Chains A and B, each alone.
Chain A
Amino acid sequence: MNFFTLAVKNLMRRRGRTVLTVLGVAISISVLFSLLALNTGYEKEMNKEMKSLGAHILAVPKGCPYEAASLVVHGGVIPKYLSERDLQNVSKIEGVDIASPLLMHQGYSKNEETGKSVPHIIYGIKMEEMRKLKPWWKVEGRFFNDDESRVMIVGRGLAKYHNLTVGQVLPFGPEGDGFTIVGILEETGDQDDQFHFLPLSEAQRLSRKEGKITTIAVKVDDLSRISEISAEMERIPDIQVVTMAQVMGTIMNLAASARSLLMTVIAIAMIISAFGILNTLLMSVNERTREFGMLKAIGASGLDIGKIIMAETLIITVSGGVIGVVMAVAGSSIIEGFVKGILPYSPRGSFIYISPELVGFSILFSVALGMLCGVYPALKSSRLTPMEAIRGGIE
């Protein structure tokens, strides 16, 4: 027999209460774990998403620049456009390596079986420039040339979802022109998986926006000159400049305030849960006061009794912590969905990031929680004199 087995046996005396207490700890630890997983994952995923755009600066039509940036990243339609002249002006600025026009359009295709229109996000691009912006792009089949017509490549996610294959012809646009899928992108893990990519001129023809572009993605030669170049771009009328650093900064700020709100709620939940544990412990200690008197009579010191109670507390909180982590990992998608609803801007991919450090921290936190909650009941019981204990408490 040792203190651990004695503590376990003691906890088994009131199984129901023990299970409920463990569950309470598990829930708070799983919430804590999820939030921290989110904290690291969100930033990682945001960075990845911003990088996957490949551009350092976006030129968008005057309006809300952040909304525009978000739409460019996620897909969507902005009812304002830039012109080819703007593009030429931007290209002329010194230090601009690539200035690639993009046109975003929401198109519909007819599902042959159901006859219903299915929305698609169509991205008109200059392939050659795009491949410089996104050198990681790989394709099954081939990339199209910018002067081809009635061709497209599609993202991997889209291809999987609609069972698309290379060589398949999709009817697109108001006339239902047939577009041949010449390539399917290898999975990128970001928003590119969900788009149809068409040659810019074809996208313009399809959406009847000849000569118009949604945004200009700019890559610079020298990152240290970004602010200089963006100031230069600002001088072009119609154009509003958004640097990726700005977008990131703003979104991160918004997200930070949402997270600090969440943190507060969770801190309060933790405190309530700690008091719950404390209450349960005090109850269990109080009802065993006479038994502690017996233990003292058969040779237990105050320290021994304190040890038993600490062991019981730690068993509760640590098993709660382990169950909580398992619960959080298993239920991460549900929690993610919930949090995505709260945050002002969420990356498309999964952003719960589970690391061994985080698992370690959560378990450590449950140990600390146990120490904190156990110390008062343990101290209280260890300080009882044998007579106080035998009489059933301090009179």
Chain B
Amino acid sequence: MTAILEASGLTKTYRRGREEIHALKEVDFRVEEGEFVSIIGPSGSGKTALLNILGCLDTPTVGRVWLNGIETSNLRERELVRIRRDNIGFVFQQFYLIPTLSARENIELPLLFSRKEEEKERIEEILEMVGLGDRGDHLPGQLSGGEMQRVAVGRALINDPKILLADEPTGNLDSGTSNRIFDLFRDLNRQGLTLVIVTHNTDLATEAQKMYTLRDGQIVGGEELAFHGR
């Protein structure tokens, strides 16, 4: 297996007023192609900081990151835009859907920025894939929380990313809905997509193939999990 994502010696420090905060302390991290990885840890442990650096939204204070063999830790924002666009799909806790766009249009939105053709079939395929085949014309306000997060997942998939990063994707959902979102993640993984999910829900985290635990900016545990393969 080849590493699609690799980080070594990641340190992230930022200031909040006079206080210096060490979000990450010399973290080494590696994700193989086709893996489903979860990261857990209490709030303030640096999970989100790690995910943002891995996703090229942020740069480390010290350390290096390689995405698909390209070192991203020393690139400028202009170059990072293209890397994100071509390689990474993001899912957030708050969904961030545009309320006046239909589910279908929200999913199409990244194509506006990647200047790709809107292929009708591909969009319908994705709607099907995230389980919203008959909901494409609904506005976010007409959808349930779980359905909104499915739209967000669809939006993350439209540019055919190599890796999907999700920051607390079930943080705003009840447990039944959360389970079904994870089912969706597993389905996607089975189709070959690499996933890194940050969550503080330990039960769900164990559904992944690998689970890392972060505490105070350091990885304190990594487990290979028996992948249920359901």
Question: A residues engaging B (CB < 8 A)?
Answer: 1-3, 6, 9-10, 12-13, 290-291, 293-302, 304, 385-387, 390, 395
Contact across chains for B118 and A387 when beta carbons are under 8 A apart: no
Supply 14 further A-B pairs (C-beta < 8 A) apart from A298-B159, A300-B112. A9-B105, A10-B98, A10-B100, A13-B98, A295-B109, A296-B57, A297-B57, A297-B90, A297-B92, A299-B81, A299-B159, A301-B113, A386-B58, A390-B52
* Contact for B78 among A293, A300, A301, CB less than 8 A: A301
Contact across chains for A386 and B112 when beta carbons are under 8 A apart: no
- Minimum Cβ distance to chain A for residue B9 (Å): 20
Contact across chains for A9 and B52 when beta carbons are under 8 A apart: no
B224 at the interface (CB under 8 A from A): no
CA distance A269 to B216 in the complex (A): 56
Contact partners of A302 in chain B: CB under 8 A: 77, 81
Contact across chains for A301 and B58 when beta carbons are under 8 A apart: no
Contact across chains for B100 and A298 when beta carbons are under 8 A apart: no
B111 at the interface (CB under 8 A from A): yes
- Minimum Cβ distance to chain B for residue A187 (Å): 55
CB-CB nearest in chain A for B89: A298
Chain A CB within 10 Å, residue with most, of B55, B89, B100 = B100
| B window 22-55: CB within 8 A of A | 52, 55
Contact across chains for A1 and B96 when beta carbons are under 8 A apart: no
Contact partners of B100 in chain A: CB under 8 A: 9-10, 12-13
- Minimum Cβ distance to chain A for residue B91 (Å): 9
Contact partners of B99 in chain A: CB under 8 A: 13
* Contact for A1 among B16, B52, B109, CB less than 8 A: B109
Contact across chains for A295 and B113 when beta carbons are under 8 A apart: yes
Contact across chains for B96 and A387 when beta carbons are under 8 A apart: no
- Minimum Cβ distance to chain B for residue A380 (Å): 15
Going nearest first, the 9 A-B pairs with the smallest beta carbon separation are A299-B85, A294-B96, A297-B90, A386-B57, A9-B100, A299-B113, A300-B113, A301-B81, A298-B110
Contact across chains for A298 and B98 when beta carbons are under 8 A apart: no
| B window 78-102: CB within 8 A of A | 78, 81, 84-85, 88-90, 92, 94, 96, 98-101
Question: B residues engaging A (CB < 8 A)?
Answer: 16, 52, 55, 57-58, 77-78, 81, 84-85, 88-90, 92, 94, 96, 98-101, 105, 108-114, 118, 155-156, 159
Contact partners of B96 in chain A: CB under 8 A: 290-291, 294
Given contacts A299-B85, A301-B113, contact A395 B16 (CB under 8 A): yes
- Minimum Cβ distance to chain A for residue B83 (Å): 10
- Minimum Cβ distance to chain B for residue A7 (Å): 11
- Minimum Cβ distance to chain A for residue B95 (Å): 9
Tally of contacts, chain A with chain B, CB under 8 A: 79
Given contacts A298-B156, A301-B78, A395-B16, contact A387 B110 (CB under 8 A): no
CA distance A144 to B199 in the complex (A): 103
CA distance A2 to B118 in the complex (A): 11
CB-CB nearest in chain A for B95: A294
Contact across chains for B84 and A385 when beta carbons are under 8 A apart: no
- Minimum Cβ distance to chain B for residue A190 (Å): 55
Contact across chains for B52 and A387 when beta carbons are under 8 A apart: yes
CA distance A300 to B90 in the complex (A): 12
Contact partners of B85 in chain A: CB under 8 A: 299
- Minimum Cβ distance to chain B for residue A285 (Å): 15
- Minimum Cβ distance to chain B for residue A383 (Å): 10
CB-CB nearest in chain A for B96: A294
Contact across chains for A2 and B57 when beta carbons are under 8 A apart: no
Interchain Cβ contacts under 8 Å between A and B, 21 examples: A6-B112, A9-B100, A9-B105, A13-B98, A13-B99, A290-B94, A293-B57, A294-B96, A295-B109, A297-B55, A297-B57, A298-B84, A298-B113, A298-B159, A299-B84, A299-B113, A302-B81, A304-B113, A386-B57, A387-B57, A395-B16
Contact partners of A301 in chain B: CB under 8 A: 78, 81, 113
- Minimum Cβ distance to chain B for residue A378 (Å): 16
CB-CB nearest in chain B for A390: B57
- Minimum Cβ distance to chain A for residue B88 (Å): 8
Contact partners of B55 in chain A: CB under 8 A: 297
Contact across chains for B114 and A299 when beta carbons are under 8 A apart: yes
Contact partners of B52 in chain A: CB under 8 A: 386-387, 390
Contact across chains for B78 and A1 when beta carbons are under 8 A apart: no
CA distance A228 to B88 in the complex (A): 89
Contact partners of B118 in chain A: CB under 8 A: 1
Contact partners of B90 in chain A: CB under 8 A: 294, 297-298
CA distance A290 to B90 in the complex (A): 14
Contact partners of A2 in chain B: CB under 8 A: 112
Contact partners of A3 in chain B: CB under 8 A: 112
CA distance A6 to B118 in the complex (A): 15
CA distance A297 to B89 in the complex (A): 8
Contact partners of B105 in chain A: CB under 8 A: 1, 9
CA distance A387 to B92 in the complex (A): 14
CA distance A387 to B85 in the complex (A): 16
CB-CB nearest in chain B for A385: B77
CA distance A301 to B84 in the complex (A): 10
CB-CB nearest in chain A for B165: A297
Contact partners of B77 in chain A: CB under 8 A: 302, 385-386
CA distance A262 to B52 in the complex (A): 56
